[in-house]
């Protein structure tokens, strides 16, 4: 199970790296076309990529902790990691949309 957790972590990192490259490439193309709103669009794409990568990293941590022999210390460490990553996810969501994740549906239409 440790190996599965490592694979999921690697997938999370790969999502972030590939998403960053795609976002940057898209921004360069938009810049060459002299389009407007490039920075905002780039930030939104990159933020969504980071959110997805963070979710995969949390899953990897959960798989490793639950599948192994869960001890009080390993569960406490997992809880701290999940809290930190959840805080980062909420911060990114607010930065991208201006709303808490549970307010978005009522406050604005879904993103693209």
For 82, the enclosing helix (H) or strand (E) is: helix 72-97
Positive or negative, the Cα torsion across 99, 12, 55, 71? Answer: negative
The pLDDT tens digits for 52-86 are 998 899 888 888 887 777 788 888 888 898 888 88
Confidence at residue 98, expressed as pLDDT on a 0 to 100 scale: 77
Say if residue 20's pLDDT is above 90: yes
| Residue range 84-110, pLDDT digits in tens | 888 888 888 787 777 777 776 555 555
pTM here? 0.72
């Amino acid at each position: 199970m440790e190996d599965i957790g490592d694979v999921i972590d690697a997938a999370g990192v790969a999502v972030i790296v590939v998403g960053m490259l795609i976002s940057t490439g898209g921004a360069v193309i938009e810049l060459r076309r002299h389009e407007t709103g490039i920075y905002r669009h780039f930030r939104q794409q990159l933020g969504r990529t980071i959110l997805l990568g963070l979710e995969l990293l949390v899953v990897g941590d959960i798989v490793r902790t639950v599948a192994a022999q869960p001890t009080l210390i390993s569960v406490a460490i997992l809880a701290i990691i999940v809290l930190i990553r959840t805080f980062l996810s909420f911060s990114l969501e607010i930065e991208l949309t201006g709303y808490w994740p549970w307010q978005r549906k009522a406050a604005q239409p879904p993103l693209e």
